[in-house]
């Protein structure tokens, strides 16, 4: 048992070191990977925009038909968006209503009308299909600690109710699809937001970038008048040049050396990767997507046919001042998504890159007087040339407090699970049917495993 634990410790330690320094292993030669990339098939990428805090999507996408809008306005009270300001779309929801986007989202509305964006209605974490009576009478298993930020982020990203779970669904996809990339040493997952549960697999971890690209270690880039950093850097170089007698020391030296080499290689290639002239805004979200664009543009040099990107965007916990804060957040999201779609189109890859939103949870249909509180189900966006856009998927909820969809206090029960959402994305990405049950452990409880938006 001790021997097995040591092997597992080494495997995870090596993976962690590589993630922290920016990569999984040094490329032997970036000049030979063009040929390798041809072996991996057509390139496809998934880009997750995780809206930390929980987006009030009931104000992002709003019913416009008279009866449904009246019910929405009565439920939302001072949070309701004026019907005359909504950016209308032609698609009709499952409730028979016409809908419109928040007035701060013209880029996304235009992409929707052009068939490049779809809305997935009332999606959220579920273990099994759940009705209001199921919830009230505690008849079915529920995701752990509902309405808690950290716990619902973990469930969205892992899809497992066990709090000790250490892998997420994008990480498990990377484990299952390791052979999809000709370069099997480079991580399939790339994070613009540090280590996250979604991209952490049983054996894989994400490659970490910032909006600046690959960040070199502090000891390699800074000097100190007191000589501390210089001495640290000298000690690191001595370690890398040594031949330790202990197996763990040698392994650490090998891992660190390869990681530093990879940093330099990726940094060099990124320096020559142009940003498409599409006018990325200056927001951190948009600049993260500009770096994702640059990484996609060097996919062939890296020998990659499949990549999953994770971009976190915080500030959505709008308990207060929502009418001032939320429109700005939606505007930032819409502008960044519009620029990113134009960039992938410029690269000729719009059909091969699918972007989707996710969040801790939706928010309450009720107003707390100045904002909305932690909810459950909410609407999500899917964008890309492969998306069957200009459509609304899933079952739109009843906008009524204490109605058939309300679990209490305006917390709307999801009618589509994250497992169904993720499995639809994963099939398009290339995950085999035989791996779906492992990656999406609750999927078998639901009638449909393909929602049809791709």
- Residue 38, CA atoms < 13 Å, CB-side half-sphere: 3
Determine phi and psi for 123, rounding to 5 degrees: -100, 150
CATH class assigned to 35-215+274-445:
alpha beta
CA–CA gap between residue 251 and residue 18 (Å, rounded)? 12
CA–CA gap between residue 423 and residue 102 (Å, rounded)? 28
Residue 449's SS3 state is: coil
What is the reported pTM? 0.87
283-303 burial code (b ≥16 CB/10 A, e <16)? bbbbbbbbbbbbbbbbbbbbb
DSSP 210: B
**So what's the pLDDT on residue 2?**
36
The DSSP element (H or E) to which 302 belongs, if any, is helix 299-302
Asked if 418 and 159 touch (Cβ cutoff 8 Å), the reply is yes
**So what's the pLDDT on residue 130?**
98
Token digits for 245? 């007698």
**So what's the pLDDT on residue 292?**
97
**So what's the pLDDT on residue 272?**
85
The residues pairing with 210 across neighbouring beta strands, listed in sequence order, are 213
**So what's the pLDDT on residue 264?**
72
**Running along the chain, 454 residues long, what does each successive block of 10 average in pLDDT?**
37 39 41 41 93 98 97 98 97 96 98 98 98 96 95 95 82 96 88 96 92 68 56 65 64 62 77 88 97 95 94 98 98 98 97 98 97 98 98 97 95 98 98 97 96 98
Strand 207-208, strand 87-92: pairing: unpaired
Contacts of 240 (CB under 8 A, 6+ apart): 253, 256, 257, 260
Contacts of 338 (CB under 8 A, 6+ apart): 107, 108, 110, 111
Strand 98-101, strand 61-63: pairing: antiparallel
CA–CA gap between residue 359 and residue 357 (Å, rounded)? 7
Supply the angle between the helices 149-158 and 169-176 in degrees, to the nearest 10: 20
Residue 376's SS3 state is: coil
Asked if 376 and 146 touch (Cβ cutoff 8 Å), the reply is yes
CA–CA gap between residue 94 and residue 76 (Å, rounded)? 21
In angstroms and rounded to an integer, the radius of gyration of the C-alpha atoms of the chain is: 23
Token digits for 171? 């990480």
Nearest to 58 by CA among 325, 399, 347: 399
CA–CA gap between residue 330 and residue 357 (Å, rounded)? 12
Angle at 290 (CA atoms; ends 286, 294), nearest 5 degrees: 165
**So what's the pLDDT on residue 7?**
40
CA–CA gap between residue 449 and residue 250 (Å, rounded)? 46
C-alpha to C-alpha distances, 125 to 104, 418, 443, nearest whole angstrom: 27, 5, 11
- Residue 379, CA atoms < 13 Å, CB-side half-sphere: 26
**How do the domains of the chain map onto residue ranges?**
35-215+274-445, 217-271
Token digits for 358? 């996710």
Token digits for 450? 């393909």
Strand ranges (DSSP E) for 44-171?
Answer: 44-51, 61-63, 87-92, 98-101, 117-124
Token digits for 376? 């459950």
C-alpha to C-alpha distances, 30 to 266, 270, 299, 350, 387, nearest whole angstrom: 9, 12, 11, 25, 32
Contacts of 272 (CB under 8 A, 6+ apart): none
């Amino acid at each position: 048992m001790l021997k097995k634990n040591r092997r597992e410790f080494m495997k995870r330690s090596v993976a962690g070191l590589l993630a922290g320094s920016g990569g999984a292993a040094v490329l032997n030669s970036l000049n030979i990977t063009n040929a390798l990339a041809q072996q991996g098939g057509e390139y496809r990428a998934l880009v997750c925009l995780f809206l930390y805090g929980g987006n009030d999507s009931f104000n992002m996408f709003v019913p416009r038909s008279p009866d449904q809008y009246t019910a929405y306005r009565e439920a939302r009270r001072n949070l309701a968006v004026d019907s005359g300001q909504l950016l209308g779309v032609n698609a009709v929801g499952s409730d028979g209503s016409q809908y419109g986007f928040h007035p701060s989202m013209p880029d996304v509305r235009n992409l929707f009308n052009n068939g490049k964006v779809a809305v997935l209605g009332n999606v959220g974490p579920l273990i099994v299909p759940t009705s209001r009576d199921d919830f009230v009478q505690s008849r079915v298993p529920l995701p752990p600690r509902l309405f808690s930020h950290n716990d619902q982020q973990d469930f969205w990203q892992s899809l497992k109710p066990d709090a000790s779970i250490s892998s997420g669904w994008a990480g498990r996809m990377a484990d299952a699809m390791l052979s999809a990339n000709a370069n099997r040493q480079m991580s399939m997952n790339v994070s613009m937001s540090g280590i996250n549960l979604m991209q952490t697999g049983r054996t894989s971890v994400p490659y970490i970038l910032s909006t600046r690209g690959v960040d070199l270690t502090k000891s390699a880039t800074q000097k100190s008048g007191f000589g501390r950093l210089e001495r640290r850097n000298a000690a690191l170089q001595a370690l890398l040049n040594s031949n330790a007698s202990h197996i763990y020391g040698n392994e650490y030296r090998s891992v660190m050396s390869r990681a530093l080499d990879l940093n330099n290689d990726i940094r060099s290639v990124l320096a020559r990767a142009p940003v498409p002239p599409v006018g990325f805004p200056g927001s951190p979200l948009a600049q993260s997507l500009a770096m994702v664009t640059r990484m996609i543009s060097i996919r062939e040099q890296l020998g990659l046919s499949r990549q999953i990107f994770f971009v976190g965007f915080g500030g959505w916990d709008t308990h207060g001042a929502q009418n001032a804060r939320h429109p700005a957040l939606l505007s930032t999201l819409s502008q960044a998504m519009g620029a990113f779609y134009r960039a992938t189109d410029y690269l000729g890859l719009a059909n091969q890159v699918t972007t989707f939103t996710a969040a801790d949870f939706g928010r309450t249909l009720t107003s707390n007087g100045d904002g909305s509180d932690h909810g459950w189900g909410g609407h999500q966006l899917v964008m890309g040339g492969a998306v069957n856009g200009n459509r609304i998927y899933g079952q739109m909820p009843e906008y009524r407090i204490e109605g058939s969809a309300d679990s209490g206090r305006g917390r709307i029960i999801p009618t589509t699970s994250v497992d169904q959402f993720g499995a639809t994305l994963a099939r398009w990405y290339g995950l085999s049917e035989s791996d779906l049950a492992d990656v999406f452990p609750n999927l078998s409880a639901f009638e449909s495993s393909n929602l049809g938006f791709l």
